[in-house]
Amino acid sequence: MAVTIRGKVLPLPILQGGMGVGISLDNLAGAVAACGGMGTISTAFCGFQEPDFDRNPKAANLRALERQVKHAKELAHGAGLVAVNAMVATTQYADSIRTALRAGVDAVVCGAGLPKDLPAIAAEVADSDAAIAPIVSGGRAAGLICKLWDRHYGRVPDFVVLEGPQAGGHLGFSKEEALEAQAGRPKPLSDLLHEVLDALAPFQEKYSRDIPVFVAGGVKDGADMARYMKEGAAGAQFATRFIATEECDASDGYKQRLLDAKPEDITIVQSPVGMPGRALRSPLIQRVEAGTQPRPDRCENCLVPCDFKTTPYCISKALIAARNGDWENGLFFCGANAGEVNRLSTVWEQMEQIMKEWRNAR
């Protein structure tokens, strides 16, 4: 059941997905790690609560990230592992990774783009033994990253997170594929898992070690996790179900919106990141669809691909608004199974429930 990642033992095969802005910070990540899983801090605008954030957001983000990593590690008490999720599409991608590594994070997970230079960034912090991992949408991306890392850095991923088309937040699929998944016709996660395992096989042989794969996106419970583990996965990543916990860093307003959500409230949006995403159909999304959303009046320069001249809204402001429970102006990311989350619990209860479901399904 335990998984070894770069010499460190993860007692339970459960990853908590990174959720930004401000949804998975030190409190949630530390609580998951304390239960034996891998808790994940999202680096996306993680300093939004700092007193100087409006004046100097980049410094505020890095200062807050260092503090959050150290606090999450303290909360973990050495039980599980603490990771950060750094979006390739953000302008502070590399700086966030360096800061997290210096603070002692156990793993760096990167998505929203191909982390082609992640090994080089990690190597800059010589005294770090952190694992590095990409988020992929299938075998093609997994194989490409392995080839690039192997050729240029003599390294391959320490583990891989496979996110299927039913995941929350940004998706590595076309809008059409995301809509198909939303309509109940997703590309089977089992097929994607087999693609990734096949792509990783030659690199596992070359480096004489395992590259664990954790599946995510539509993995509803421990029974699903058990099924995918029988097919070769090392474990699973969960995200949305951890929002409805006391320890989650989101506001009570965000949590209540999730608890009140029905399956028909979930929709596919086009993010300024340039990727489709899955979220609740809030008034902001309705205004964007109707073409009545006021254009942003300033640019925070937080995303590389975002064009201030054409973007219909500022995603960072929308995510901060959501974190604070502002239904009118917030972008509330969620997974495809969000409509089934209807009770507030604790991280410990969620971890126990997942493992109970896993044991019963073995």
State both tokens at 74: 């303290």
State both tokens at 252: 């009570």
β partners of residue 83 = 40, 107
Looking at residue 64, its pLDDT comes to 96
State both tokens at 346: 């604790």
Contact in structure between 185 and 162 (CB atoms under 8 Å): no
Contact in structure between 134 and 160 (CB atoms under 8 Å): yes
Looking at residue 306, its pLDDT comes to 45
Residue tagged 């495809």 (tokens): 336
Rounded to a whole number, what is the distance in angstroms from the first to the last CA of the chain? 11
Distance (Å, whole) CA 36 – CA 57: 33
Distance (Å, whole) CA 319 – CA 23: 9
Per-residue pLDDT of the chain (362 residues; tens, 9 = 90+): 799 999 999 999 999 999 988 999 999 999 999 999 999 999 988 888 999 988 998 999 999 999 999 999 999 999 999 999 998 877 889 999 999 999 999 999 998 888 999 999 999 999 999 999 999 999 999 999 999 999 999 999 999 999 988 877 766 666 676 666 666 667 789 999 999 999 999 999 999 999 999 999 989 899 999 999 999 999 999 999 999 999 999 999 999 999 999 989 998 887 776 778 888 999 999 998 888 877 766 656 555 444 555 666 677 788 889 999 999 999 898 888 888 888 999 999 999 999 999 999 98
Residue 144: other Cβ atoms inside 10 A: 15
| Helix, strand, coil share of the chain (percent; to 5) | 40, 15, 45
Q: What is the pLDDT of residues 49-66, one digit of tens each?
A: 999 988 998 999 999 999
Nearest to 228 by CA among 214, 245, 238, 211: 214
β pairing state of 107-111 and 131-136: parallel
Nearest to 89 by CA among 128, 44, 56, 140: 44
Residue ranges, CATH 3.20.20.70, the chain = 3-251+342-361
Q: What is the pLDDT of residues 157-172, one digit of tens each?
A: 999 999 988 877 766 6
Task: Report the alpha-carbon angle 325-331-337, nearest 5.
Answer: 95
Q: What is the CATH number of domain 3-251+342-361?
A: 3.20.20.70
β partners of residue 280 = 266
Distance (Å, whole) CA 35 – CA 24: 16
Looking at residue 289, its pLDDT comes to 85
269-to-130, 287, 288 alpha-carbon distances in Å: 34, 12, 9
Nearest to 60 by CA among 73, 74, 44, 77: 44
Looking at residue 296, its pLDDT comes to 62
State both tokens at 133: 């991992």
8-state DSSP, 265: G
DSSP for 116-155? TTHHHHHHTSTT---EEEEEESSHHHHHHHHHHHHHHHS-
Looking at residue 310, its pLDDT comes to 61
* Helices and strands per DSSP (H, E), number in the chain: 13, 13
Residue 243: other Cβ atoms inside 10 A: 26
